[in-house]
Chains A and B, each alone.
Chain A
């Protein structure tokens, strides 16, 4: 019913292309998150789906029908804006009622529907207030209710949580998730927050400079990034990215940087030597203190991966260890529990890496996959 297809979609503003050739199929009932840094074209894409921007080229199809020439109100969509966009001169109840009035729903039914959605997003106590009297979180719930009440086939959410504080953001994130479960409608959610994308999405669409960088489930995106950009964008703390060189020694592929010397899996012998970036997630770094006797030798090579700790951050569940590896960003390792929280800054420890969880990126930023 509400399958949404974007076909060769393009948007130019003068000579600047905000969106370059987007192709995307969104299944009915799917929760898709468009994510990327500001200016990547995600909001423009959403606004083309909504009908607020006309595509310069390409088609938007909803339920198989090309809707390029359809007004926003005729597309059967609902949208929640970053600024909430409540009508400041109408009470909360009137705000929610607006869409029903436009659709000529009879008055008694309107009142009933308002009560229903107000209960659904827990704002019954706000119905008689004015938007100006609502807090940010409350306003966003009202905006959600106003969209919900019209029963759209698809919800478009344009950074709906970015104006809220961290706690509210988590709370409303859970709310969005719950609504999606309950309503079984299509949700298209735009955000620049990778954590929001990871927790909400069935499928994440990573955008950059007006193109789609990668599409996949949160797990795919996290554990199998196609590029340096995606690898760097997802995960907190971020992936460690080490610039260095790949060389072949005695039939084995090795990666060397000023601080690290790491043996790569055998498959990398097929990759021509040269400059590369090695990526490893903080949770895939193993730490060996002097006492545990392990040789701190990369993946079995010489024991050169020995670094002094710069900072220890015990977080309770995990402990973060920061190392100075001579680059701008500190090298980070995560270890479960508080075992390593006792380590003092300056203590040298050895690091080793899970060979199957190493990512290699070429100078063009693309992932290098060994044959």
Chain B
């Protein structure tokens, strides 16, 4: 009796806490979506409008397609439209992420199987990521200016690749460690070369882990702001940089446009997350290799 009762109370408490937590986590997202459909008079209204009334697409049209039908004062804010920034972000983030996952996996394989990096070196690698970007960004921008990488896609791809490589190595190593040595040796003695073993046995077994790593790093590079802001000027502005242009001393706080842009930044990641959800569940829970 008391036992089942206490279990019920535990369940109630647990769901209460989870509900509160979910509310806190999801409210900003809800508010972003809601605001993106509001007309400008409702952005700051008090009491707030929880639902756009009436909903409008003008924020989206204005931000993404430069439609000017709705406010004369808010003319084209950036020198390029967000669509170009979207393209920049896609190219820069996916290239840098792919590079770091591929190189990370190769390094991780070497560390896992051949100990090419000692434990101390592995931690030093992680330290690379612990330096706050603000510390390196000023010298880096001078350096980039000297070698002509400032305001180029290559420059941003390179710095994102380097800064996310430690994550890639650490994450993929934990997945490769899970693959039993004997499975690889079985392939070897059956006649497979080292590369064949990696491609036919190891990679398929860590696929979910690689996918999870890919998404994790993609989110980091996709939403990176500081380095993108300083290391790019006008040519290769990315979406997070674009987003900041909707709050400024000259433009004021253009919440509706900003929300519409934010939705556009978030949705691609959500779509990718949805497409690879099967791998994410397995990749993030580890232990996918049955021994």
Binding site for B on A (CB under 8 A): 50-52, 71-73, 75, 77-79, 81-83, 85-89, 98-99, 102-103, 131-132, 143, 146-147, 150
B191 touches A83 (CB 8 A): no
Return chain B residues, CB-CB under 8 Å to A79. 185-186, 189
Return chain B residues, CB-CB under 8 Å to A131. 290
A87 touches B201 (CB 8 A): yes
Return chain B residues, CB-CB under 8 Å to A51. 189
How far is A81 from B180 in the complex, measured between Cα atoms in Å? Answer: 11
Return chain A residues, CB-CB under 8 Å to B187. 87, 98
How far is A132 from B182 in the complex, measured between Cα atoms in Å? Answer: 16
How far is A123 from B183 in the complex, measured between Cα atoms in Å? Answer: 21
Return chain A residues, CB-CB under 8 Å to B180. 83, 85
B205 touches A72 (CB 8 A): no
How far is A85 from B193 in the complex, measured between Cα atoms in Å? Answer: 17
With beta carbons under 8 angstroms apart, the residue of A83, A88, A102 that contacts B190 is: A102
B190 touches A89 (CB 8 A): no
A102 touches B205 (CB 8 A): no
B291 interfacial by beta-carbon distance below 8 Å:
yes
Q: A88-B289, A88-B290, A89-B204 are in contact. Are A52 and B191 (CB under 8 A)?
A: no
Return chain B residues, CB-CB under 8 Å to A78. 189-190
> Closest 3 interchain pairs by CB?
A102-B191, A99-B190, A85-B182
B185 touches A73 (CB 8 A): no
How far is A71 from B187 in the complex, measured between Cα atoms in Å? Answer: 12
B190 touches A150 (CB 8 A): yes
Return chain A residues, CB-CB under 8 Å to B191. 73, 99, 102-103, 150
Return chain A residues, CB-CB under 8 Å to B188. 52, 71-73
11 A-B pairs with CB atoms under 8 Å apart are A71-B188, A72-B188, A73-B188, A78-B190, A81-B182, A82-B182, A83-B180, A87-B186, A88-B183, A89-B205, A150-B191
Q: State the Cβ distance, A111 to closest chain B Cβ, in Å.
A: 17
With beta carbons under 8 angstroms apart, the residue of B185, B196, B204, B205 that contacts A85 is: B185
Return chain B residues, CB-CB under 8 Å to A150. 190-191
Return chain B residues, CB-CB under 8 Å to A147. 190
Per-residue CB proximity of B124-167 to A under 8 Å, as 1/0?
A: 00000000000000000000000000000000000000000000
Binding site for A on B (CB under 8 A): 180, 182-183, 185-193, 196, 200-201, 204-205, 289-291
B192 touches A102 (CB 8 A): yes
Return chain A residues, CB-CB under 8 Å to B183. 85-88
How far is A143 from B186 in the complex, measured between Cα atoms in Å? Answer: 9
Q: State the Cβ distance, B291 to closest chain A Cβ, in Å.
A: 7
How far is A147 from B193 in the complex, measured between Cα atoms in Å? Answer: 17
Return chain B residues, CB-CB under 8 Å to A88. 183, 205, 289-290
Return chain A residues, CB-CB under 8 Å to B204. 89
How far is A63 from B267 in the complex, measured between Cα atoms in Å? Answer: 65
Q: State the Cβ distance, B258 to closest chain A Cβ, in Å.
A: 45
Return chain B residues, CB-CB under 8 Å to A72. 185, 188-189
Return chain A residues, CB-CB under 8 Å to B196. 102
B193 touches A83 (CB 8 A): no
B205 touches A81 (CB 8 A): no
How far is A331 from B201 in the complex, measured between Cα atoms in Å? Answer: 53
How far is A72 from B192 in the complex, measured between Cα atoms in Å? Answer: 10
How far is A71 from B186 in the complex, measured between Cα atoms in Å? Answer: 13
Q: State the Cβ distance, B181 to closest chain A Cβ, in Å.
A: 9
Return chain B residues, CB-CB under 8 Å to A87. 183, 186-187, 201
How far is A131 from B193 in the complex, measured between Cα atoms in Å? Answer: 23
Return chain A residues, CB-CB under 8 Å to B182. 81-83, 85
Q: State the Cβ distance, A126 to closest chain B Cβ, in Å.
A: 16
Identify 12 new A-B residue pairs, CB closer than 8 A, beyond the known A87-B186, A143-B186: A50-B189, A51-B189, A52-B188, A82-B182, A83-B180, A86-B186, A89-B205, A98-B200, A99-B191, A102-B192, A102-B196, A150-B190
